[in-house]
Amino acid sequence: MQTDEAPPLVSMRQIVKRFGQFVANDQINLDLAAGEIHALLGENGAGKSTLVKILNGLLQPDAGEIYWQGEQVLLKSPRDASEVGISMVFQQFSLFENLTVAENINAAFTEHDTHGFGVRALADRIIEIGEDYDLNLDPNRPVHTLSTGERQRIEIVRALLRHPKLLILDEPTSVLTPQEAEDLFLTLEKLASGGCGILYISHKLHEVRRLCSKASILRNGRLVATCDPKSTETVEMASLMVGSSVPELRAPALHKIGDIRLHVEALSLPSQDIHGTDLHHINLDVHGGEIVGIAGIAGNGQSELFAALSGERLAQEPRHICIDTLPAGLLDIESRRALGAVFIPEERLGHAAVPDMRLSDNLLLSRHGTDNLIHGGLIDIRRSHRLAHDVVLQFDVRSASKNPYARHLSGGNLQKFIMGREILAEPGVMVVNQPTWGVDAGAATAIRQALIDLAAAGTAVLLISQDLDELFDLSDRMAVIYAGRLSQTLPIQNLTREMVGMMMAGSEVDHAA
C-alpha cells in the first residue's frame, strides 16, 4: 500500500525580510527534514543570520510562511519557537563565570518556562544528557574553571533540555580544537540519528562536507543553490557563495628572512581580570619577512599577550619587548606605533574601530601620529578622507555610502578596512589577533593574501589565531599558548594539526625555556 511522504520538519516559504530599503531575505524557500543535518552557507551579509532569527522567533518576516510538520505556524518570539521544538546555540556563549554549570543552565529558564527545573533535579538531568550524547559535564563546577569545549557543551545541554526537534548551531567550532570539533560532530550525528533536525551555519566548508547531507547557499539575500556537500567540492561551494571563483592563496615571492624585528624575552604579567590568564615567562622572536603563528583555545592568554605587545599593558621592564632592537616594554601604544609597529585586536567594533565614527575618522585615530594628519592642532581632513578612500579601493571594502560609519559595514567589510588601514601604513612589525574571525571565504582569502604579501615585503608578522587552517596556510613557524605559557616555536613543516590540537588542549607542550 502506498503512503504519502511525511512533510518536512520545517518549511520556510517565500520568506522576505526588509530593513528599510535593504532586502535581507528575498523570497527564500528552505526545507529541512527530521534527522537531517542541513548546512546554511553564505558570505557575511548574505542573509543567514536574518533567516535563522526568523526561524527562532527573534524577527518576524515581512512576507512568507513557516510550516512546522506540515502545519503553518507563527513564531512571534523565541518562546514560540521553543514551544514547537526549535532551539538555537549561538556563536557567542552566554554564561556567568562565577556560577556553576547547573546554575548557568537554570538561569536560562523562566517561571513561565514549562521545562524549568530546580537546581538539584537539574543536576541529574545534566548528567543523564551527558551520558546519552557524550556531553559529559560536572553540574557543580564553576564555569570559569572549564575549557572552551566544555562551555559549549553547556550551551548544547541547555538547548537539549528543551527537547528540541530542530537544533540551530551558529559557527559552533570556531573556538574548538580539531579533537573537540570531531567530538561535537559525533554528538550531532547521534542527535540526528534520533530524529532531531540540525541547521548548521559555518564558514568552514571542509566541516560542512564532513558533517552535512544537504546545504542551502545564500547570496545577496537570495537562495542561489541547494547541493549535497559530500559530492560537491569545497571550491564549487565557495564559488556559489561569492558568485565567482574564489582565488587561491598565492605563494609569497622569493625573499630573504631578515633580522629579528620583534623580540620578547622573559615576559611575565599577572592578569588584571579575576578570570583572566597570567602570562608566564614568554620568549618569542619574529624576523622580518616571516609570519609566526600562535595557536590556542580562547582564554589561554592570547588577549593578555596582545595587550602586552600592543602597549595596552606595560611590561615590567623595557627589555621584555623590543621592536627593531629598541626596548619598548614600557612604551605606550602611540610610542610603539612610532617605532613602526601596528596592532590589530580581535574585537572589530569598540576596540579596532569606533562604531559611531566614520571610516576616515577611524583611520585618523590609529594613524594620526605616523601619517602627518595633524598640523598645529588642526586635522588634515582631506588627507584622512583620501587615505581612507585608498583603503576602501585597494581592499574592496563595500558599503552603501562613500564614507560610512563603521557600524554600517558588514563584519567582513569592516575587517578588510581595519586590515587595510594598518597594512597600507607599511609597518615593520604587525601583531594581529583573529584576522578572519567570522569572515566569509572571499574576504578571508583577501585578508590572508595581504598578510602573505606584507611579510614578503619585509614586515615581521605575528599571527594569533584559533583557526588551524589559517595558521597552517600562513605561518612559517608556529607556537601554542596554553594557560599563559608559550611552547617552543617550530617550523610549520614539523607540525601536524593533530599535534597542535593536542598542545592546544594542554598535552605534550614543550615549553620554551
**What pLDDT is recorded for position 117?**
59
pLDDT value at 349 more than 90:
no
**What pLDDT is recorded for position 18?**
93
- DSSP per position, 171-205: STTTT--HHHHHHHHHHHHHHHHTT-EEEEE-S-H
Nearest to 382 by CA among 364, 400, 395: 364
**What pLDDT is recorded for position 501?**
86
Instruction: Could you please state the CATH topology (level 3) that the domain comprising 16-85+164-175+184-243 is classified under.
Output: Rossmann fold (3.40.50)
pLDDT value at 147 more than 90:
no
Question: What predicted TM-score, i.e. pTM, was given to this entire model?
Answer: 0.76
Kindly give, in sequence order, each residue whose CB lies less than 8 Å from that of residue 279, ignoring residues fewer than 6 positions away.
Answer: 267, 268, 269, 271, 301, 304, 305, 308, 484
pLDDT value at 115 more than 60:
no
pLDDT value at 53 more than 90:
yes
| 60-84 per-position pLDDT tens digit | 999 999 999 999 999 999 999 999 9
51-60, 119-128, 312-321: least confidently modelled range:
119-128
Q: In whole angstroms, what is the distance from residue 55 CA to residue 73 CA?
A: 10
Residue with the bigger pLDDT between 505 and 221: it is 221
Half-sphere exposure of 483 (CA within 13 A, CB side): 9
Average pLDDT over residues 427-437: 93
| 26-38 per-position pLDDT tens digit | 999 999 999 999 9
| Dihedral of the alpha carbons of 406, 410, 411, 413, in degrees to the nearest 10 | -80
**Rg of the chain in Å (alpha carbons):** 24
Average pLDDT over residues 109-120: 58
Percentage of residues in the chain having pLDDT higher than 90: 59
**What pLDDT is recorded for position 166?**
96
**What pLDDT is recorded for position 90?**
80
Q: How would residue 119 be classed by pLDDT, with cut points 50, 70 and 90?
A: low
**What pLDDT is recorded for position 252?**
79
Nearest to 19 by CA among 467, 273, 400, 484: 400
**What pLDDT is recorded for position 177?**
74
User: Which residue type occupies 108?
Assistant: A
Residue with the bigger pLDDT between 358 and 110: it is 358
Domain ranges of the chain: 16-85+164-175+184-243, 92-163, 252-340+429-513, 347-426
Strands 429-433 and 460-465: parallel
- DSSP per position, 335-350: HHHHTTEEEE-S-TBT
Range 252-340+429-513 classified under CATH 3.40.50.300: yes
**What pLDDT is recorded for position 1?**
38
In DSSP terms, which residues pair with 218 in a beta bridge? 42, 223
**What pLDDT is recorded for position 387?**
93
Residue 397 C-alpha from the chain's centroid:
19
Q: In whole angstroms, what is the distance from residue 324 CA to residue 326 CA?
A: 6
102 C-beta neighbours (distance < 10 Å), count: 25
Q: In whole angstroms, what is the distance from residue 132 CA to residue 126 CA?
A: 10
Which burial class, exposed, middle or buried, applies to 501 when counting CB atoms under 10 A from its CB (0-12, 13-18, 19+)?
Answer: buried
**What pLDDT is recorded for position 425?**
92
Nearest to 237 by CA among 268, 204, 270, 259: 204
**What pLDDT is recorded for position 111?**
52
pLDDT value at 139 more than 60:
yes
Q: In whole angstroms, what is the distance from residue 499 CA to residue 6 CA?
A: 46
pLDDT value at 354 more than 70:
yes
Inter-residue contact 507 to 322 (CB < 8 Å): no
**What pLDDT is recorded for position 2?**
42
Percentage of residues in the chain having pLDDT higher than 70: 96
Residue with the bigger pLDDT between 216 and 350: it is 216
| 264-288 per-position pLDDT tens digit | 999 999 998 887 899 999 999 999 9
Q: How would residue 113 be classed by pLDDT, with cut points 50, 70 and 90?
A: low
Q: How would residue 118 be classed by pLDDT, with cut points 50, 70 and 90?
A: low
Nearest to 345 by CA among 356, 333, 357: 333
Q: How would residue 259 be classed by pLDDT, with cut points 50, 70 and 90?
A: very high
**What pLDDT is recorded for position 20?**
86
Supply the mean pLDDT for the chain: 89
Q: What is the DSSP letter of 93?
A: -
Average pLDDT over residues 170-187: 83
**What pLDDT is recorded for position 235?**
87
6-15, 19-28, 441-450: least confidently modelled range:
441-450
Residues constituting the chain? 513
Which burial class, exposed, middle or buried, applies to 220 when counting CB atoms under 10 A from its CB (0-12, 13-18, 19+)?
Answer: middle
Kindly give, in sequence order, each residue whose CB lies less than 8 Å from that of residue 127, ignoring residues fewer than 6 positions away.
Answer: 137, 139
Q: Do domains 16-85+164-175+184-243 and 252-340+429-513 have the same CATH topology?
A: yes
7-16, 238-247, 317-326, 501-510: least confidently modelled range:
501-510
| 358-394 per-position pLDDT tens digit | 999 999 999 887 877 887 788 888 999 999 999 999 8
Average pLDDT over residues 293-310: 92
User: Which residue type occupies 94?
Assistant: S
pLDDT value at 330 more than 80:
yes
Kindly give, in sequence order, each residue whose CB lies less than 8 Å from that of residue 292, ignoring residues fewer than 6 positions away.
Answer: 284, 286, 460, 461, 462, 463, 475, 476, 477, 478, 479, 489
**What pLDDT is recorded for position 410?**
77
Residue 332 phi, psi dihedral angles, 5° rounding: -80, 180
**What pLDDT is recorded for position 438?**
67
What would the grid cell of residue 322 be?
623590543
| 304-329 per-position pLDDT tens digit | 999 999 999 999 999 999 999 999 99
Q: In whole angstroms, what is the distance from residue 241 CA to residue 244 CA?
A: 8
Q: How would residue 87 be classed by pLDDT, with cut points 50, 70 and 90?
A: very high
Nearest to 43 by CA among 444, 451, 449, 474: 444
350 C-beta neighbours (distance < 10 Å), count: 11
**What pLDDT is recorded for position 3?**
46
Q: In the chain, what is the straight-line distance between the N-terminal and C-terminal CA atoms, in Å?
A: 74
pLDDT value at 429 more than 90:
yes
**What pLDDT is recorded for position 114?**
43
Q: In whole angstroms, what is the distance from residue 148 CA to residue 302 CA?
A: 14
Beta strands per DSSP E along 270-413: 279-287, 291-295, 321-323, 326-327, 341-344, 374-375, 378-379
